[in-house]
Homo-oligomer: A and B are copies of this chain.
Amino acid sequence: MTLEVVSLDPTPDQLRYTFGGGGEPLLRVQPGTVVELTTEDCFGGRVRTVEDLPTRVCEFPYLNPVTGPVHVEGAEPGDTLAVHVIDIAPARDWAVSTTFPHFGALTATHETAMLHDPLEEVVWVYEVDREAGTCLFRPRRGGPEVELPLDCMHGTLGVAPAAGQVFMSITPAAHGGNMDTPELRAGTTVYLGVNVPGAQLSLGDGHCRQGEGEVCGTAVEAAMRTVVVVDLIKGGAPAWPRLENDEFLMSTGSVRPLEDAYRVSQRDLVGWAAELAGWDVLDAYQLVSQAGLAPVGNVVDTNYTMVAKLPKRFLPGAAAFDGVHARLRETGAAYLSQR
């Protein structure tokens, strides 16, 4: 298997902070290309010690930088971009997490507005041991340390939004963006509806791991060395981002309130299952009701994200998007075996 492999390692001033908005793409690739890229962490790498409070070292809106956009040749509105994640590896031997004033699920925010003072701003620095596959949680005020397994993922991945809109990179919506779901790990293919020529793929916000909901507002944030393979399906654009791995089909929804995110993701999964299995939609509704999973993505961003998952073994013989996941899985295996 001959692989087309290109690299994308943006300089700090090349980082972007929005989805959409034009400007020159950082890279142009043909469908089928493997892209080795680097991403900076959500703090732009400025939070390095427990003294580096984000409100002091970071400056709005220069948060959550993304790498991209990547222009995928031939992608037109209505097409489906498939992005298969081959590998995500921490770029440094440390990562950080923080509280942030008026951000998170268990605090008053600018939108769940209250009269409370913000919670204390605190930084946690994690030691990352890539060999051992762990990151070390050190409580700031005593008590046991905990070694947590690495489970690397990207919080943010998306394309340019529809209707000429430009969204901050911290917003998740129909274009993808900052969905913050742990499901977006290596081995997963993301399907995104294309809204503009070239799709304009960007990604960032690497996490060494993240709990479901990202309840404090930030994960184990890390710069990453990431490898993806990008492919294109003509037509078939899903209304909301979909994911697939070897075991599950997944639909997402990113809106508020959280029950609407649940509704969007489940509605999409029901329709997808009906189409793949040849069921009536009420039959698919029934099957998903008994066999579907519903983990939370995030409950902290400008939209909340829910994931609806269905084991592929309950859809025998069905191949989503013409089996592109399986093909990209092979590309990924070929790449990794050659590396």
Contacts and interface: CB of A to CB of B under 8 A. Distances in A.
A292 B212 contact: yes
Interface string A219-245: 110000000000000000001000000
Contact of A20 (B99, B166, B257, B286): B166
Contacts of A112: 112, 260, 263
A139 interface: yes
Interface stretch (A1-9, A27-35, A114-122): A114-122
Contact of A105 (B137, B266, B280): B266
Main secondary structure of the interface of A (DSSP, over half): loop
Interface size of A as a range: 35 or more
Contacts of A327: none
Contacts of A146: 287, 291, 314, 316
B293 A295 contact: yes
A49 to B, nearest CB: 16
Given A143-B278, A263-B105, A279-B143, A285 B163 contact: no
Contacts of A166: 20-21, 164-166
Given A113-B260, A141-B279, 5 more contacts: A99-B282, A115-B119, A163-B168, A211-B290, A256-B260
